[in-house]
Protein backbone atom coordinates (compact mmCIF):
# COMPACT_ATOMS: atom_id res chain seq x y z
CA UNK A 1 0.00 0.00 0.00
CA UNK A 2 1.34 3.40 -0.98
CA UNK A 3 2.49 5.72 1.78
CA UNK A 4 -0.26 8.09 2.84
CA UNK A 5 0.73 11.48 4.20
CA UNK A 6 -0.41 12.12 7.78
CA UNK A 7 -3.63 14.11 7.72
CA UNK A 8 -5.66 15.98 10.34
CA UNK A 9 -7.00 12.77 11.91
CA UNK A 10 -3.60 11.06 11.99
CA UNK A 11 -2.06 14.05 13.74
CA UNK A 12 -5.01 14.32 16.13
CA UNK A 13 -4.73 10.62 17.04
CA UNK A 14 -1.02 10.99 17.74
CA UNK A 15 -1.61 14.10 19.85
CA UNK A 16 -4.21 12.25 21.94
CA UNK A 17 -2.04 9.14 22.33
CA UNK A 18 -4.15 6.81 20.18
CA UNK A 19 -2.35 4.16 18.14
CA UNK A 20 -4.47 4.74 15.02
CA UNK A 21 -6.66 7.39 13.40
CA UNK A 22 -9.50 4.86 13.16
CA UNK A 23 -10.62 5.88 16.66
CA UNK A 24 -12.32 8.92 15.17
CA UNK A 25 -14.46 6.71 12.93
CA UNK A 26 -15.76 4.89 16.00
CA UNK A 27 -16.20 8.16 17.89
CA UNK A 28 -18.36 9.58 15.09
CA UNK A 29 -20.43 6.39 14.91
CA UNK A 30 -20.88 6.49 18.68
CA UNK A 31 -22.05 10.09 18.56
CA UNK A 32 -24.52 9.33 15.77
CA UNK A 33 -25.88 6.01 17.03
CA UNK A 34 -25.19 6.12 20.81
CA UNK A 35 -23.29 2.85 20.74
CA UNK A 36 -21.56 2.88 24.12
CA UNK A 37 -23.06 2.17 27.52
CA UNK A 38 -21.06 2.35 30.75
CA UNK A 39 -20.68 -1.04 32.43
CA UNK A 40 -21.87 -3.03 29.39
CA UNK A 41 -19.83 -5.66 27.58
CA UNK A 42 -18.53 -5.32 24.04
CA UNK A 43 -16.67 -7.60 21.64
CA UNK A 44 -14.03 -5.85 19.48
CA UNK A 45 -12.81 -7.93 16.53
CA UNK A 46 -9.61 -6.78 14.85
CA UNK A 47 -8.68 -4.92 18.02
CA UNK A 48 -4.95 -4.41 17.34
CA UNK A 49 -3.34 -1.87 17.77
CA UNK A 50 -6.01 -0.90 20.27
CA UNK A 51 -7.54 2.47 19.41
CA UNK A 52 -11.12 1.20 19.29
CA UNK A 53 -10.64 -0.87 22.43
CA UNK A 54 -9.12 2.06 24.30
CA UNK A 55 -12.01 4.30 23.28
CA UNK A 56 -14.52 1.67 24.48
CA UNK A 57 -12.65 1.15 27.76
CA UNK A 58 -12.59 4.92 28.35
CA UNK A 59 -16.36 4.90 27.82
CA UNK A 60 -16.59 2.44 30.73
CA UNK A 61 -17.29 -0.70 28.71
CA UNK A 62 -16.01 -4.21 29.47
CA UNK A 63 -14.00 -5.08 26.37
CA UNK A 64 -12.96 -8.46 25.01
CA UNK A 65 -10.78 -8.01 21.94
CA UNK A 66 -9.69 -10.53 19.33
CA UNK A 67 -6.79 -10.14 16.91
CA UNK A 68 -3.65 -11.93 15.79
CA UNK A 69 -1.74 -9.66 18.19
CA UNK A 70 -2.93 -8.30 21.53
CA UNK A 71 -2.82 -4.52 21.96
CA UNK A 72 -0.49 -3.08 24.58
CA UNK A 73 -3.42 -1.83 26.58
CA UNK A 74 -4.77 -2.50 30.05
CA UNK A 75 -8.41 -2.72 31.03
CA UNK A 76 -9.61 -5.33 28.56
CA UNK A 77 -9.37 -9.07 27.93
CA UNK A 78 -7.36 -9.99 24.83
CA UNK A 79 -7.51 -13.16 22.73
CA UNK A 80 -4.45 -13.23 20.47
CA UNK A 81 -5.59 -15.65 17.78
CA UNK A 82 -7.23 -15.64 14.39
CA UNK A 83 -10.91 -14.79 14.56
CA UNK A 84 -11.47 -18.00 12.58
CA UNK A 85 -10.14 -20.00 15.55
CA UNK A 86 -12.17 -18.26 18.25
CA UNK A 87 -15.62 -19.63 19.02
CA UNK A 88 -18.66 -17.84 20.34
CA UNK A 89 -18.58 -20.01 23.48
CA UNK A 90 -15.16 -18.59 24.33
CA UNK A 91 -16.39 -15.02 23.93
CA UNK A 92 -19.53 -15.70 25.94
CA UNK A 93 -17.47 -17.24 28.75
CA UNK A 94 -15.44 -14.03 29.04
CA UNK A 95 -18.09 -11.33 28.67
CA UNK A 96 -21.53 -12.92 28.29
CA UNK A 97 -24.13 -11.59 25.89
CA UNK A 98 -23.36 -8.03 24.85
CA UNK A 99 -25.34 -5.03 23.59
CA UNK A 100 -22.53 -4.04 21.20
CA UNK A 101 -20.36 -6.06 18.81
CA UNK A 102 -17.81 -4.20 16.67
CA UNK A 103 -15.39 -5.21 13.94
CA UNK A 104 -12.71 -3.07 12.31
CA UNK A 105 -11.12 -6.17 10.73
CA UNK A 106 -9.37 -5.94 7.39
CA UNK A 107 -7.14 -8.41 5.56
CA UNK A 108 -3.55 -7.74 4.61
CA UNK A 109 -4.26 -6.05 1.30
CA UNK A 110 -2.79 -7.40 -1.93
CA UNK A 111 -3.49 -4.44 -4.19
CA UNK A 112 -6.03 -6.44 -6.19
CA UNK A 113 -9.37 -4.82 -5.40
CA UNK A 114 -11.52 -7.90 -6.02
CA UNK A 115 -9.27 -10.20 -3.97
CA UNK A 116 -9.09 -7.70 -1.11
CA UNK A 117 -12.87 -7.26 -1.20
CA UNK A 118 -13.54 -11.00 -1.05
CA UNK A 119 -11.06 -11.50 1.81
CA UNK A 120 -12.63 -8.67 3.75
CA UNK A 121 -16.14 -9.98 3.14
CA UNK A 122 -14.98 -13.33 4.54
CA UNK A 123 -13.96 -11.50 7.75
CA UNK A 124 -17.25 -9.58 7.90
CA UNK A 125 -19.24 -12.79 7.56
CA UNK A 126 -17.25 -14.35 10.41
CA UNK A 127 -17.99 -11.29 12.54
CA UNK A 128 -21.68 -11.62 11.67
CA UNK A 129 -21.64 -15.30 12.62
CA UNK A 130 -20.07 -14.62 16.01
CA UNK A 131 -22.32 -11.64 16.69
CA UNK A 132 -25.47 -13.74 16.23
CA UNK A 133 -24.41 -15.88 19.17
CA UNK A 134 -23.14 -13.03 21.35
CA UNK A 135 -25.54 -10.12 20.91
CA UNK A 136 -28.37 -9.41 23.31
CA UNK A 137 -31.83 -8.85 21.81
CA UNK A 138 -31.90 -5.24 20.64
CA UNK A 139 -28.10 -5.16 20.33
CA UNK A 140 -25.97 -3.32 17.77
CA UNK A 141 -23.47 -4.68 15.23
CA UNK A 142 -20.87 -2.37 13.64
CA UNK A 143 -18.44 -3.61 10.98
CA UNK A 144 -16.05 -2.33 8.36
CA UNK A 145 -16.96 -3.44 4.83
CA UNK A 146 -15.03 -2.96 1.59
CA UNK A 147 -17.14 -1.84 -1.37
CA UNK A 148 -17.56 -4.51 -4.03
CA UNK A 149 -19.96 -7.00 -5.49
CA UNK A 150 -20.75 -8.75 -2.18
CA UNK A 151 -21.23 -5.62 -0.06
CA UNK A 152 -24.93 -5.22 -0.82
CA UNK A 153 -25.56 -8.90 -0.03
CA UNK A 154 -24.02 -8.40 3.43
CA UNK A 155 -26.22 -5.36 4.08
CA UNK A 156 -29.32 -7.23 2.89
CA UNK A 157 -28.53 -10.20 5.13
CA UNK A 158 -28.22 -7.90 8.14
CA UNK A 159 -31.54 -6.25 7.27
CA UNK A 160 -33.20 -9.60 7.94
CA UNK A 161 -31.74 -9.76 11.45
CA UNK A 162 -31.83 -6.16 12.69
CA UNK A 163 -34.54 -3.51 12.96
CA UNK A 164 -32.45 -0.93 11.08
CA UNK A 165 -29.26 -1.10 9.01
CA UNK A 166 -27.29 1.92 7.80
CA UNK A 167 -24.25 2.28 5.55
CA UNK A 168 -21.99 5.04 6.89
CA UNK A 169 -18.72 6.55 5.66
CA UNK A 170 -17.35 8.48 8.67
CA UNK A 171 -15.55 11.78 8.09
CA UNK A 172 -12.26 10.25 9.26
CA UNK A 173 -12.33 7.74 6.37
CA UNK A 174 -9.79 8.68 3.72
CA UNK A 175 -11.36 10.01 0.49
CA UNK A 176 -9.86 7.27 -1.68
CA UNK A 177 -10.80 4.47 0.71
CA UNK A 178 -13.20 1.74 -0.47
CA UNK A 179 -14.38 1.10 3.09
CA UNK A 180 -17.67 1.96 4.69
CA UNK A 181 -19.21 0.88 7.99
CA UNK A 182 -22.43 -0.99 8.41
CA UNK A 183 -24.32 -0.08 11.58
CA UNK A 184 -27.08 -2.55 12.37
CA UNK A 185 -29.29 -1.73 15.36
CA UNK A 186 -32.08 -3.59 17.11
CA UNK A 187 -30.92 -7.20 16.82
CA UNK A 188 -33.87 -9.53 16.38
CA UNK A 189 -32.14 -12.60 14.97
CA UNK A 190 -34.58 -14.98 13.32
CA UNK A 191 -37.56 -13.59 15.23
CA UNK A 192 -40.16 -11.83 13.08
CA UNK A 193 -39.89 -8.05 13.17
CA UNK A 194 -42.91 -5.92 13.98
CA UNK A 195 -44.48 -4.40 10.86
What are the residue numbers of the active site?
A: 144
Q: For the sheet containing 98-103, what is the strand order?
A: 77-80, 62-67, 41-45, 98-103, 135-146, 179-187, 162-168
Q: How far is CA 117 from CA 8, 68, 149, 150, 172, in A?
A: 27, 20, 8, 8, 20
C-beta contacts of 171-174 below 8 A and 24+ residues apart: 171/24, 171/28, 172/9, 172/21, 172/22, 172/24, 172/25, 172/28, 173/25, 174/4, 174/7
Amino acid sequence: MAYQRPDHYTKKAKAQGFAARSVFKLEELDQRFRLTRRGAGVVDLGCFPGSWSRYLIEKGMRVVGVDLKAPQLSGGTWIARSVMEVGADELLAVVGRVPLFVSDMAPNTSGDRFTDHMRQIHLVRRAMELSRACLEPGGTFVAKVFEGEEANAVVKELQGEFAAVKRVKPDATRDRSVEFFVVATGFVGDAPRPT
